[in-house]
Amino acid sequence: MNPQLAPSKGRRELRLPRWAIPIVWATLVLVILVVLPWAVSKLGPRYGWSQALPATWNLTGLIAATIGLMMYVWCLVFHFRSYRDSVRIGFSPPHLVVTGPYRYSRNPMYVAGLFAWIGWTVFYGSPAVFIGLVLLWSLFTFRVIPNEERQLEALFGDEYLEYKKSVPRWIGRI
């Protein structure tokens, strides 16, 4: 991988070639949405598990975790399609994505991630994973999303404000 530092409005920013983005995202998704819940589940009891095997009801959590991961991949496909030769690394996107899952939620990646964590909570039968889920939801709701919305308003102005009026933050009007 050959990251490049490029000047941007008086400061330097990290840019990655387009081909590297799926590798970076796959690694992040694997760590945050698969490895981290597993590691957190080791911090306390696992209800429904006996002799290192999950009960049948625990297995239903794999359905939700899989759906969450597939939703996340769906989001990434729409981001990747819109990338050019290289991508600026940061929390604010270089362009506004409003198609695909972004027609139903302004934050489908967070919805997908939380859905995966719900699935892992059931699969592991873990109060620790549930606490992690609540902490992530709180962090997203009260810190990350409001900051991103301010940045997007500054970057995209009326285009983002119109999008914000017509598409809910989560799903539906939740």
The one-digit pLDDT tens for each residue of the chain (174 residues) are 444 444 445 455 677 787 777 788 889 889 999 999 999 999 999 999 998 899 999 999 999 999 999 999 998 888 777 766 666 666 566 678 898 999 999 999 999 999 999 999 999 999 999 999 999 999 999 999 999 999 999 999 999 999 999 999 998 665
Q: What domains, with CATH codes, occur in the chain? A: 16-166 (1.20.120.1630)
Supply the pTM of this predicted model: 0.84
How many Cα atoms within 13 Å fall on the side-chain side of residue 56? Answer: 0
Q: Judge residue 137's burial from the number of C-beta atoms within 10 Å of its C-beta, 0-12 exposed, 13-18 middle, 19 or more buried.
A: middle
